[in-house]
Amino acid sequence: MREHIGVLHRFETVAHVVRFVLIAALGCAIAPTFALLPLGAFYEMSAVELAGNWATWWQGDVCGVLAFAPLILGWLAPRATTWTPGKLLEAGVFGVVLLGASQLVLSAGFERAFLIVPFIVWAAFRFEQREVTTATAAVCAIALWSMPQESFVLVPLFVSTLVFTGLVLSVALKQLERARTELESRVRERTAELEEAKLAAEKANEAKSQFLANMSHELRTPLNSLLILARLLADNPGGKLDAKQVKFAQTIHASGLDLLSLINDLLDLAKIESGAVTALNVAPARFADLREELERTFQQVAQDKSLAFSIHIDPALPPTLRTDAGRLKQVLKNLLANAFKFTSRGSVALRIARGAPGYVAFAVSDTGIGIAADKQQLIFEAFRQADGTTSRLYGGTGLGLSISRELTRLLGGELGLASVPGEGSTFTLVLPLSDQRTTLAA
């Protein structure tokens, strides 16, 4: 067995058990073959008699090998089970029940011998391979002792089935246990690796946020000076600049404002993504105050672009909602600014109405260029726009919607989009009507 199977004391795989049974079957054919051939040559024996004697001899040898080889190997192996008092008690109960049941069942004949199989299954699930082979050997001994003579020819089949079942079950369960242990070890290792990666990512985010904060501060100082000087040149208080030079100064000032807006957006996005922005000032906010501020901010923009602008509040709504008004205004201003930017004719409207029970919906609609279906999710990513070509007509950094989405999550809401290219878009912000969270500090 050690030479051809590799088994030292215990069978480790189902393949070991199968090879052991095959080798036992083949090896046990040698003795009856070489013993009966001379008898058949010297004495007149029919083929049926020779085959019957050969089969009886072979079956007896196979049963002996199957029953006792694993038993001997198992008891020569180092002990693998830690026998606690509870385990010893279970083993004692199992032994008594097994012997009693075997004597009762097998003494009645072979018809109910299959009732012993559940006890072998019990041994395979609860004990080691040594105990399983001991149980099968004990059942085989009782079968030889108790089974009626007319059923004796079936004993080899019963023994072989019992031994094979017990060995395969014990080996398969042991393999499952090893696989489970190995999987748990890998999961622990992977969890530790993921935890390390998470810590590294958090440190990288902190470093990125700190870097952006420092850089924004360093950039704002000279940029503010540039804006002030560009504004002074554009105002031309001394009247020494001609119209072309004033236009150049106005372009410098406008470009500086765009750069300042980009720096602010980058800093906001970095803080949100790293978790630095978690402060919420949750308090009652009046819908009327919200409408007044948004009208004041965008009414002039609407007039400059000759667009109709309206804000409608559903009368069925209560006068206030409970949320962070500052964050809500930031999201709505982003959505309205985008609506005006991408709309050249028609209207921009904000409708505030009830959503699902306990929620309020802010729907910003426009009659602008619309957004293709394949780009409706992409535009919520940083630096992505509906018009992403190098020759696009509309400016911007592509950060506004990404910031709005993250702020919406922070407020406990959802931001959705419905759009038809060439007809316009509707961004819908859904928030709890009464956020029960208290003020959260960063």
What is the spatial distance between Cα 219 and Cα 329, in angstroms, rounded to a whole number? 27
End-to-end CA separation in angstroms for the chain: 70
Q: Could you tell me which CATH number the domain at 283-432 has?
A: 3.30.565.10
Q: Which fold has domain 202-274?
A: Helix Hairpins (1.10.287)
Write the pLDDT tens digit of every residue in 275-309. 555 567 888 999 999 999 999 889 988 998 999 99
Contact 360, 321 (CB under 8 A): yes
- In the structure encoding, which two tokens stand for residue 28, read together? 């046990």
Contact 422, 370 (CB under 8 A): yes
Range of weakest confidence among 28-37, 96-105, 152-161, 326-335: 152-161
State the pTM of this model.
0.47
Write the pLDDT tens digit of every residue in 233-257. 888 887 788 888 888 888 888 788 7
DSSP string, 69-85: HHHHHHHHSPP-----H
3-state class percentages of the chain: helix first, strand second, coil last, to nearest 5: 65, 10, 25
For the chain, the structural domain boundaries read: 14-186, 202-274, 283-432
Write the pLDDT tens digit of every residue in 334-390. 899 889 988 999 999 999 999 888 899 999 999 998 888 878 777 766 544 544 443
> In this predicted structure, what is the pLDDT of residue 178?
83
Q: In the chain, what percentage of residues exceed pLDDT 70?
A: 84
Beta bridge partners of 313: 352
> In this predicted structure, what is the pLDDT of residue 217?
67
